[in-house]
């Protein structure tokens, strides 16, 4: 059965296609767009003229010609608007302001006060989020469309559509309607997402959507994964896909906050480092509560403390076990590692590679596994805002109506 698409809907889809292409290309031209998309020249010209009028695309001069008139080169106007991204961890929040190309112009890290109860913790998180967004809005440069929204990333189970947080590692189980709590306090659109989903979106957009299947593993206080499959962010039915941290790798293993046993998160997260340190001979590791376990472990390992080096090696091996399972299940183009483990690449990646040589199947041994950028989650959160505003509604950006065909 063939579905019918009216002219207005087709126009919006064509507009989104053209705008994405201009964004992903360093420079392009109307004729290049027509050739790459299959749209006729008149349609492309009309859409481009509309985007120029809306200041989303700019003309930057003439390109070279192989015959006939020189084409006018086009570039995406990354500074037409800005978006805010927040990476909320239990101890701190990283806030960025990025233009709509994903280029950061502001970054701030703030501590979150500790709460004695789950309610206290939630209250502190809300207060910090409100304060950080307000400060970020004040710091944003002037632009035609200003701040178009903010996305808050959490290290747990988050439903993007409803704004419900179901679970935060080490904090609570339940349903937290944070969107309702923040309603009325922030004057811009708000989105809520899992941190690994934001991380994988940053990788996908950052490499110009060249790779269509990427898994981003965010390892810190917990372990989660974000997946772009066939060029689309995969969230699952209830918005909580990617919780690989709760797959079983040791059936009779350590108990987990989720109620299960032997979860990958219990062997590949920061808190497992403490156990590995004790197993490596550091009976009572002196760790400061003001700095992450990973940061302190890395400092000691770089000083050639053998107990800490052995602990990091054990962490790398257990990361490898889970990564092998993911590779064999999904066969992605690439796996990117993020979170607090990013700085420990020297100690972790060789151990991961060693495990994958024995446990990854066939062609999966060739799938690259690399470390991501430090601010991937926060920048990816801002990029998700841009996607929702510019592209998710098939081109109906900034409430500016697209003209009919």
Q: Tens of pLDDT along 191-243?
A: 999 999 999 999 999 887 788 999 999 998 889 999 999 999 999 998 899 99
Q: Is residue 1 part of a domain?
A: no
Are 350 and 220 members of one domain?
Answer: yes
Are 156 and 192 members of one domain?
Answer: yes
Which range (86-100, 114-128, 235-249) has the least confidence? 114-128
Out of 76, 99, 132, a domain closes at 76
Q: The tokens of 369 are what? A: 């596994």
- pLDDT band at residue 397 using 50, 70 and 90 as cut-offs: very low
pLDDT of residue 290: 66
Q: The tokens of 146 are what? A: 């200003």
Which range (23-32, 65-74, 142-151, 315-324) has the least confidence? 65-74
CB 179 within 8 A of CB 202: no
120 pLDDT above the threshold of 90: no
Out of 48, 76, 104, a domain closes at 76
Q: How far does CA 71 lie from the centroid of its chain?
A: 36
- CA–CA separation, 265 and 245 (whole Å): 4
Span 268-281, average pLDDT: 86
- CA–CA separation, 321 and 316 (whole Å): 9
Are 95 and 170 members of one domain?
Answer: yes
Are 160 and 135 members of one domain?
Answer: yes
Are 361 and 230 members of one domain?
Answer: yes
Mean pLDDT of the chain: 89
Are 132 and 219 members of one domain?
Answer: no
- The percentage of the chain sitting over the pLDDT mark of 70, rounded to a whole number, equals 92
pLDDT of residue 404: 34
pLDDT of residue 285: 64
- CA–CA separation, 375 and 94 (whole Å): 8
Q: The tokens of 100 are what? A: 């709509």
Q: Is residue 2 part of a domain?
A: no
pLDDT of residue 4: 58
Are 226 and 365 members of one domain?
Answer: yes
Span 75-94, average pLDDT: 94
Q: How far does CA 146 lie from the centroid of its chain?
A: 22
Q: Is residue 66 part of a domain?
A: yes
- CA–CA separation, 73 and 211 (whole Å): 26
Q: Is residue 137 part of a domain?
A: yes
Span 33-59, average pLDDT: 93
Length, in residues, of the chain = 405
pLDDT of residue 146: 95
pTM tops 0.85, yes or no: yes
Are 188 and 273 members of one domain?
Answer: no
283 pLDDT above the threshold of 60: no
CB 185 within 8 A of CB 226: no
- CA–CA separation, 402 and 24 (whole Å): 21
Q: Is residue 87 part of a domain?
A: yes
pLDDT of residue 351: 97
Instruction: Write the CATH number for 50.
Output: 1.10.10.10
pLDDT of residue 96: 98
366: burial class by Cβ within 10 Å (0-12, 13-18, 19+)? exposed
Instruction: Write the CATH number for 308.
Output: 3.30.420.40
- pLDDT band at residue 336 using 50, 70 and 90 as cut-offs: very high
Buried b (16+ CB within 10 A) or exposed e, 8-26: eeebbebbbbbbbbbbebe
CB 75 within 8 A of CB 57: yes
399 pLDDT above the threshold of 50: no
Q: Is residue 398 part of a domain?
A: no
- The percentage of the chain sitting over the pLDDT mark of 90, rounded to a whole number, equals 65
- CA–CA separation, 82 and 104 (whole Å): 9
Out of 46, 76, 106, a domain closes at 76
Buried b (16+ CB within 10 A) or exposed e, 283-322: eebebeeeebbbebbbebbeeebebbbbbbbbbbbbbbbb
Are 127 and 59 members of one domain?
Answer: no
- CA–CA separation, 17 and 14 (whole Å): 5
107 pLDDT above the threshold of 80: yes
Tens-digit pLDDT profile for residues 154-199: 988 999 999 999 888 766 657 889 999 998 899 999 999 999 999 9
pLDDT of residue 398: 42
3-class DSSP state of 289 = coil
Dihedral pair phi/psi, residue 47, rounded to 5°: -65, -45
- CA–CA separation, 287 and 160 (whole Å): 36
405 pLDDT above the threshold of 50: no
Residue carrying structure tokens 């002037």: 142
13: nearest Cα among 398, 393, 401: 393
Are 258 and 340 members of one domain?
Answer: yes
pLDDT: which is higher, 313 or 7: 313
Are 239 and 196 members of one domain?
Answer: no
- pLDDT band at residue 102 using 50, 70 and 90 as cut-offs: very high
Are 268 and 252 members of one domain?
Answer: yes
pLDDT of residue 224: 93
Give Dmax (Cα) for the chain. 77
- pLDDT band at residue 394 using 50, 70 and 90 as cut-offs: very low
Q: What is the number of domains present in the chain? A: 3
pLDDT of residue 395: 39
Q: Is residue 405 part of a domain?
A: no
pLDDT of residue 183: 85
Q: Is residue 400 part of a domain?
A: no
- CA–CA separation, 335 and 350 (whole Å): 15
Contacts of residue 90, defined as CB under 8 A and 6 or more positions apart, other chains included, come to 112, 121, 155, 168, 169, 170, 171, 221
Domain that holds residue 296: 208-372
CB 130 within 8 A of CB 182: yes
């Amino acid at each position: 059965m063939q579905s019918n698409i009216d002219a207005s809907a087709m126009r919006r889809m064509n507009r989104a296609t053209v705008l994405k292409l201009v964004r992903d290309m360093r420079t392009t031209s109307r004729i290049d767009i027509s050739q790459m998309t299959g749209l006729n020249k008149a349609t492309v010209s009309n859409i481009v003229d509309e985007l120029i009028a809306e200041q989303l695309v700019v003309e930057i001069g003439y390109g070279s010609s192989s015959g006939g008139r020189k084409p006018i080169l086009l570039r995406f106007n990354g500074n037409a608007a800005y978006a805010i991204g927040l990476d909320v961890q239990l101890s701190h929040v990283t806030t960025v302001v990025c233009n709509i190309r994903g280029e950061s112009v502001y970054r701030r890290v703030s501590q979150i006060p500790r709460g004695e109860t789950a309610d206290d913790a939630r209250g502190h998180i809300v207060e910090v989020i409100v304060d950080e967004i307000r400060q970020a809005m004040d710091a944003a440069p002037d632009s035609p469309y200003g701040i178009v929204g903010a996305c808050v990333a959490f290290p747990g189970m988050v439903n993007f559509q409803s704004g419900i947080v179901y679970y935060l590692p080490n904090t609570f189980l339940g349903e937290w309607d944070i969107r309702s709590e923040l309603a009325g306090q922030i004057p811009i659109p708000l989105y809520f997402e899992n941190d690994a989903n934001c991380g994988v979106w940053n990788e996908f957009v950052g490499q110009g959507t060249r790779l269509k299947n990427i898994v981003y593993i965010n390892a810190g206080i917990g372990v989660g994964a974000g997946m772009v499959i066939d060029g689309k962010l995969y969230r699952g039915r209830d918005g909580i896909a990617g919780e690989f941290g709760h797959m079983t790798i040791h059936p009779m293993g350590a108990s987990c906050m989720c109620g299960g046993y032997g979860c990958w998160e219990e062997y590949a997260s920061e808190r497992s480092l403490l156990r590995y340190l004790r197993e490596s001979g550091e009976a009572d590791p002196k760790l400061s509560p003001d700095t992450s376990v990973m940061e302190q472990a890395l400092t000691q390992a770089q000083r050639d403390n053998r107990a800490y080096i052995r602990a990091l090696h054990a962490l790398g091996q257990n990361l490898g076990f889970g990564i092998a399972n993911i590779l064999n299940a999904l066969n992605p183009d690439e796996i990117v590692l993020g979170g607090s483990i990013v700085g420990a690449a020297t100690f972790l990646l060789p151990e991961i590679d060693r495990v994958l040589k024995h446990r990854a199947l066939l062609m999966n041994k060739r799938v690259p596994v690399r470390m991501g950028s430090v601010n991937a989650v926060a920048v990816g959160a801002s990029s998700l805002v841009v996607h929702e505003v510019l592209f998710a509604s098939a081109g109906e950006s900034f409430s500016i109506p697209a003209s009919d065909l």
